[in-house]
Structure 1
Amino acid sequence: MIMNRRTVAIIAVSVAAIAALAWAFAPRPLEVETASVTRGHFEQSIEEDGRTRLRERFTISAPVAARLARIQLREGDSVQAGDSVAVLTPVMPSMVDERSMREAVARLKAAQAAVAGAAARVDRARIAYEETRLEWQRAIRLAAEGFVSASRLDSTRLAEDGARQDLEAARAAHEAAMHERTQAAAVLQPIGRGASGAPLQLRAPITGVVLRVPIQSEATVAPNTALLEIGDPGRMEVVAELLTTDAVLARPGTTARIERWGGPPVEGRVRRVEPAAFTKVSALGVEEQRVNVLIDLDRTPDAWRTMGDGFRVTVQVITASVQDAVQVPVGALVPTESGAMAAYVVEHGRAALRPIELAGRNSAMAWVTAGLQPGDRVIVYPPPSVSAGRRVQPRAPG
């Protein structure tokens, strides 16, 4: 009887030890983070940095070389269409040094001598013309009396015509010599404090604000020099540089949303995708092909009036929008060996790998068309140790 009790005690201890070992080495449920499959509004968008830009900017430049008066306008000042924004006056002549002065004096004396010579040639041509004119008149009288032949009369007439043309040429040469003398004398005129001539007023082409004033002080400017830029901040657009692979989805008319500008989101629509792309090097040194996408704003809040040209914003181009879509967190997506997507679903305390079909995804949620139902619990960010059939336990919050 004593031996039996001892045997029973040994057996009991052995069983307890075996049970303890079995419990110690038995696989425990894997703690995982889970989320529910929901149904609701789904949006797929392309998010990219953008900047504001005036749809039209006007650069006012100098049409000719002139002296620019000091511009009183500054960046941000309002102007009305037709207002005078800049005043141009003729430039002063260049200063004359001693050598140039002597050359100018010699040139003036030469011009004066040329005028005198041209005047002498005019007098000589006038005398020759009077002589041939008298000879022709004499020949006309003699021809009427029959003392001069017809050929002689024609010769005197032609001589009179030639002498008259020589006189006109001499007078033209004399006039040209006088102009050259005036031009040579103008170089020696004293330089005044200002150049003569009426000032030229440059006026604003539109009503808007001054964006930039490159030259603020008085200066002499060359033709086509930019003096200031004017734009209308009420006509603003947003420019986003999208990857060419994303830009094909941003067709004209696509809804866009402007965020992170300092106020509530602003709705807009894509107006144009520029036809030419350009190469841009990313922060990681990768060459990317990008294209400018222009977005017009639908309605802007009052705070948007403080936005200016070149302000940074965040652009979301909505490429898909579904009101009643089955959604699952993107962290629950698991790629399979075949390249398809799947998700681990918690069924009766165990993980089950279920293939799914995706119609779209954004930064947070994925749109599922098959494989999951609203209310299913899926494992989010499944650890490497999870597998199909593995016991799992949802991690307690906090």
Structure 2
Amino acid sequence: MARLRRIILPLLVFALVVAGLVMSIRPRPAPVDLADVVSGPLQVTVNEDGRTRVKERYVVFSPLAGRLARIPYKAGEPVQAGRTLLAAIDPSDPDLLDARAVAEAEARVRAAALAVERARTQVIAANAALEFATDELRRVQSSASQAAANLREVQDAQLVVTVRTEEARAAEFARQIAVFELAQAEAALVRTRPADGGADAEAARLTILSPIDGRVLRVLRESAGFVSPGTPLVEIGDSTDLEIEVDVLSPDAVRIAPGAAVHIEDWGGTGVLRGRVRLVEPSAFTKISALGVEEQRVNVIIDFADAPASREGLGDGYRVQTRIVVADAADVMKVPTGALFRQGDKWAAFVEADGRASMRLLEIGRRNHAEAEVLSGLSVGDRVVVYPSDRVREGVMLAPRKAAE
């Protein structure tokens, strides 16, 4: 028995050593996160910070030469159309003015009259566009069923109506300003001409009332003193009528079209606001990035599509985060971007097949920061390795940790 133990014990030790050596040199499965290749919606956006600004800012100018009384207002104070006295000017003696001053005043009246006619035409055009958009919304609503595909069409039509409403409101604002400027120019002309018969006429004080409801944005000339025609006095605007200015990289600007939907986030309130791109400016400008790199940037102007009540508290010059939609697909095969890597000049991904890694070359379409459209190389239901480590190679055994979302 003792002899048998002496034979078996070394054999057992030898077997354990051999097993340990085999286990030590055997490849261990690589721990990985897996995600499913799925079919679903894909939205591609350009994400940039933006800044709000009052859409229609109006600077009140002195219409004639004279002595300006001190302006008592501060930035932020409310003004009412036709009631708030913005400035008062005692005109210079008309008998001391030359013929050129009278001619300039007459020219300002003619220019103001033309501006009124132009503004009226713009109001008519804006109202016609609003009426057309409203009729289109009614048509879409009447033909839409309960299908989700038609719901998006209704929402798009509603956004167009909202934007056209804002445009009509802006056109009416411009018309009111034009009428105001015409009245000021006519009043200045009366005070510029000498009195009939050469009699001395008391210079009537010219009072300038606010043409709009809004707030004082800036006081450009606060102190009393002599002013000449065209001197800027006060800047006013409707602080609830805002737009957003976003500067994007010029390659991104090429993909952005007027009318594109915009998601407005991180604005300080709850929820996500909606917007629409109104204008992509045609000229770029050079901007130095935080890393000191010169970039060509383009300004994109965005209109809010929600009512002002939904963005209460948002003011002029506030920072917001915008996501401008440049592509929106309802049903595509997609994969997490973390599963993609470059293999030469092509995209590739590791697929889990029978517990081992298998590299596939892919053709990728549209993509955003989280997902990419797969045109070929994968099938719905395949499981791909997300953020593969350097241990993941062709044929390596995989040990899934968890399903990546």
| TM, length-normalised to structure 2 | 0.67
Residues of 1 paired with 2:363 and 2:382: CA distance? 15
Equivalent residues in 2 for 1:233-272 (5 A)?
Answer: 233-263=239-269, 264-272=271-279
> Is 1:276 aligned to residue 283 of structure 2?
yes
Indicate conservation of the 8 Å contact 1:91/1:220, yes or no.
no
Residues of 2 paired with 1:372 and 1:36: CA distance? 11
Query: What SS does structure 1 have at the residue aligned with 2:283?
Result: coil
Residues of 2 paired with 1:344 and 1:369: CA distance? 16
Query: What SS does structure 1 have at the residue aligned with 2:247?
Result: strand
Residues of 2 paired with 1:301 and 1:233: CA distance? 10
Query: What SS does structure 2 have at the residue aligned with 1:44?
Result: strand
Structure 1 counterpart of 2:303: 296
- The one-character-per-residue Cα deviations of 1:236-269 (angstroms, maximum 9, x if unpaired) are 2111111111111111111111111123211121
Query: What SS does structure 1 have at the residue aligned with 2:307?
Result: coil
Residues of 2 paired with 1:206 and 1:77: CA distance? 13
Indicate conservation of the 8 Å contact 2:240/2:315, yes or no.
no
Indicate conservation of the 8 Å contact 1:332/1:343, yes or no.
yes
Change (3 A) 1:259 1:2: closer
Structure 2 counterpart of 1:343: 349
Tell me by how many angstroms 1:272 deviates: 1.2
Indicate conservation of the 8 Å contact 1:355/1:371, yes or no.
yes
Query: What SS does structure 1 have at the residue aligned with 2:392?
Result: coil
Tell me by how many angstroms 1:29 deviates: 0.8
- The one-character-per-residue Cα deviations of 1:149-182 (angstroms, maximum 9, x if unpaired) are xxxxxxxxxxxxxxxxxxxxxxxxxxxxxxxxxx
Query: What SS does structure 2 have at the residue aligned with 1:18?
Result: helix
Query: What SS does structure 1 have at the residue aligned with 2:16?
Result: helix
Indicate conservation of the 8 Å contact 1:209/1:233, yes or no.
yes
2:313 to 296, 306, 318: 306
| TM, length-normalised to structure 1 | 0.68
- The one-character-per-residue Cα deviations of 1:82-107 (angstroms, maximum 9, x if unpaired) are 34310112479xxxxxxxxxxxxxxx
Query: What SS does structure 1 have at the residue aligned with 2:282?
Result: coil
Tell me by how many angstroms 1:15 deviates: 2.4
- The one-character-per-residue Cα deviations of 1:286-342 (angstroms, maximum 9, x if unpaired) are 1111111111222236241322221111111101111222222111111111x1111
Tell me by how many angstroms 1:55 deviates: 2.1
Letter in 2 for 1:251: A
Equivalent residues in 2 for 1:161-172 (5 A)?
Answer: none
Structure 1 counterpart of 2:186: none
Query: What SS does structure 1 have at the residue aligned with 2:11?
Result: helix
Tell me by how many angstroms 1:395 deviates: 2.4
Letter in 2 for 1:379: V
Structure 2 counterpart of 1:13: 13
2:331 to 324, 328, 342: 324
Indicate conservation of the 8 Å contact 1:266/1:300, yes or no.
no
Equivalent residues in 2 for 1:1-398 (5 A)?
Answer: 6-83=6-83, 84-90=85-91, 197-263=203-269, 264-300=271-307, 302-337=309-344, 339-395=345-401
Indicate conservation of the 8 Å contact 1:55/1:237, yes or no.
yes
Residues of 1 paired with 2:58 and 2:220: CA distance? 14
Query: What SS does structure 1 have at the residue aligned with 2:287?
Result: strand
Tell me by how many angstroms 1:282 deviates: 0.9
Structure 2 counterpart of 1:117: none
Tell me by how many angstroms 1:228 deviates: 0.8
Q: Structure 1 stretches of 5 or more lacking a match?
A: 93-195
Query: What SS does structure 2 have at the residue aligned with 1:357?
Result: strand
- The one-character-per-residue Cα deviations of 1:113-163 (angstroms, maximum 9, x if unpaired) are xxxxxxxxxxxxxxxxxxxxxxxxxxxxxxxxxxxxxxxxxxxxxxxxxxx
Residues of 1 paired with 2:376 and 2:274: CA distance? 32
Tell me by how many angstroms 1:391 deviates: 1.1
Residues of 1 paired with 2:259 and 2:215: CA distance? 30
Residues of 2 paired with 1:253 and 1:342: CA distance? 35
Query: What SS does structure 1 have at the residue aligned with 2:312?
Result: helix
Query: What SS does structure 2 have at the residue aligned with 1:372?
Result: coil
Query: What SS does structure 2 have at the residue aligned with 1:274?
Result: strand
Indicate conservation of the 8 Å contact 2:35/2:403, yes or no.
no
Tell me by how many angstroms 1:204 deviates: 2.3
My pick for the range that moved more, 43-52 or 351-360, is 351-360
Q: Structure 2 stretches of 5 or more lacking a match?
A: 94-201
- The one-character-per-residue Cα deviations of 1:168-213 (angstroms, maximum 9, x if unpaired) are xxxxxxxxxxxxxxxxxxxxxxxxxxxx732221232333221111
Residues of 2 paired with 1:267 and 1:396: CA distance? 36
Tell me by how many angstroms 1:13 deviates: 2.8
Tell me by how many angstroms 1:378 deviates: 1.5
CA RMSD of superposed structures (Å)? 2.5
